Amino acid sequence: MNVKSAFLNGFIEEEVYVRQPPGFESARFPDRVYKLMKDFYGLKQAPRAWYARLKSFLLMSGFVMGSVDKTLFLLSRGVQIYVDDIIFGGSSHALVSSFAEQMRREFEMSLVGELQFFLRLQIKQGLEDTFVHQAKDTRDILKKFNMGDSKPMTTPMSTNMTTPMSTNTALDADEDGEAVDQKEFRGMIGSLLYLTATKPDIQFAVCLCARYQASPRTSHPVKRIFRYLKFTPELGLWYSSDSSLFLTGFSDADHASCRIDRKSTSGTCQLLGTSLVSWSSHNFYHRSRVHCCCSQLLWMKATLSYFGLKYRRIPLLVDSTSAISVAKNPVLHSRTKHIDVRFYFLRDHYEKGDIDLIHVVSANQLADIFTKPLELQVEGVDNVLIKGEIESQRTGLIALLV
């Protein structure tokens, strides 16, 4: 559902004055200003005032606000808000209808119905699964940058544009290369970053190209990513209703892959059953960023606890034996005193029983796609990202964990 003119529903607490709008000045008092009696679009206080109004209404209606995610409110049905866009669901149609009617009485509403679009994400719901994708935005972006008739590519990156796959791609500044239009390059990167909300397969390639926005060259393969999107416009995230609620994290890192500053790339992803729900790709100096994946798992654990789900010893699968040894073996304490304090965060939560560090062979490391170019040939993938390499590897890992 959507609240019409949401910010106008907020109650302003400060004393704010605005000038008379051009063309509507008072003939009698042209030098006077207006004193606002309610919230107004354009004010810095407007988002906070609207959130306070909606929060107050939901709390008076019996909802409980999440302590971790402040936009999550729970009663017998869950409500998630983003400015004036609200997602809500309940355990029965009667509860959903009751809440919708309650909101209509308090606010002027629009777009009340089954969730199909949210923040330009397309959501297709069925009895057995839910599919989230950005096919329309993908086609619009291809058309915007005149790439709609481009030759499709099966992978987003390659050392040679004619080579279908590469695992050793490493870009540099290429100062002697042919320069490209900086404005267009930045526009392409911005559009691609938005698509990573449902396309983790392009996350690494986009982030790698984004490092060279100040001086882009033809060797920076941003157009190849568009050609890959031409090949996979409807690729997205698939969530099965049969999936378990088993929470798992994967963390991977390469070693000093950046040719300019010798930074490493860290990739993490978190799965709920067989469903990919969170992922990241970072550039950093330190070898291990397992603690970042641990932090995300703890956040998800706290959020899911509001839905009655309890977790202990959440599996965190890494292919770094050194990170596991430092966290599990107190004997190695003397060797890690030079390490920053935050690295002890991982060992503390292992000792508390929040996570369980498990070694995984590199061939089954799902976070691998966030630290190096995608190797997967996506032909035959039925418009579903998880049904490709990720699900097949995940099946083997579940058997391995059991």
Indicate if the pLDDT at residue 288 is higher than 70: no
pLDDT at residue 166, rounded to an integer: 40
Predicted confidence at residue 158, as pLDDT, reads 67
Question: Can you tell me the mean pLDDT for 17-38?
Answer: 87
Q: Are residues 106 and 185 in the same domain?
A: no
Position 124 in a domain = no
> Model confidence over 179-193: pLDDT tens digits?
888 899 999 999 999
Confidence of residue 384 (pLDDT cuts 50, 70, 90): very low
Q: Look up the CATH number of the domain holding residue 341.
A: 3.30.420.10
Residues 379 and 280 in one domain: yes
Question: Is the confidence at residue 226, as pLDDT, over 90?
Answer: yes
For residues 260 and 325, membership in a common domain is answered with yes
Q: Which pLDDT tens digit goes with each residue over 147-198? A: 988 889 888 886 444 343 344 456 777 778 888 888 999 999 999 999 999 9
Per DSSP, the residues of 342-394 read GGHHHHHHHHHTSEEEEE--GGG-GGGGGTS------TT--S-SIIIIIHHHH
Would you state the pLDDT for residue 390? Answer: 38
Domain presence at residue 119:
no
> Which 8-state DSSP code applies to residue 270?
E
- pLDDT value of position 133: 93
Mean pLDDT of 74-99: 75
Mean pLDDT of 80-104: 78
pLDDT band at 308 (very low <50, low <70, confident <90, very high): confident
Q: Compute and round to an integer the Cα radius of gyration of the chain.
A: 25
Q: What is the pLDDT of residue 286?
A: 56
> Quick one: 79 and 151 in the same domain?
no
Of 36, 55, 39, 32, the closest CA to residue 7 belongs to 39
Q: What is the pLDDT, as a whole number, of residue 83?
A: 61
The model's pTM is: 0.78
**Is the pLDDT score of 365 beyond 80?**
yes
Both 250 and 363 in one domain: the answer is: yes
Output the pLDDT for position 14.
Answer: 83
pLDDT digits 0-9 by tens, 309-363: 899 899 999 887 777 877 777 665 566 655 666 667 888 888 889 999 898 888 8
Residue 361: the pLDDT is 86
Helices 321-328, 344-352: inter-axial angle, 10-degree rounding: 60
pLDDT in the model for residue 396: 38
Neighbouring-strand partners of residue 248? 271
Gap between the Cα atoms of 270 and 248, Å rounded? 6
Q: Determine how many CB atoms are found less than 10 A away from the CB of residue 185.
A: 22
* pLDDT attached to residue 377: 44
Q: Are residues 262 and 382 in the same domain?
A: yes
Please indicate, yes or no, if residue 122 is contained in any of the structural domains.
no
Interatomic CA distance for residues 28 and 31, integer angstroms: 9
| pLDDT at 386 (0 to 100) | 37
pLDDT band at 257 (very low <50, low <70, confident <90, very high): low
Tell me the percentage of the chain whose pLDDT exceeds 90.
Answer: 20
Same domain, 370 and 280: yes
Same domain (yes/no): 76, 181: no
CA angle 346, 351, 353 (to 5 degrees): 100
- Does residue 383 register a pLDDT over 50? no
Name the range with the highest mean pLDDT among 62-71, 78-87, 197-206: 197-206
Output 81 or 10, whichever has higher pLDDT: 10
Range of the domain at 316: 243-401
| Contact (CB, 8 A) for 123 and 116 | yes
Q: Which domain-ending residue is among 196, 231, 266?
A: 231
Given a cut of 70, is residue 78 above it in pLDDT? no
- Choose the most confident range, by mean pLDDT, from 65-79, 293-307, 329-343: 293-307
Give percent of the chain with pLDDT exceeding 70. 80
How many independent structural domains does the chain possess?
3
Indicate whether 275 and 197 sit together in one domain. no
Last residue of a domain, one of 78, 113, 148: 113
Rounded-to-integer distance, Cα 97 and Cα 90, Å: 9
Beginning with the edge strand found earlier in the chain, give each strand of the sheet holding 109-110 in spatial order.
Answer: 64-65, 72-74, 77-82, 85-90, 2-3, 109-110
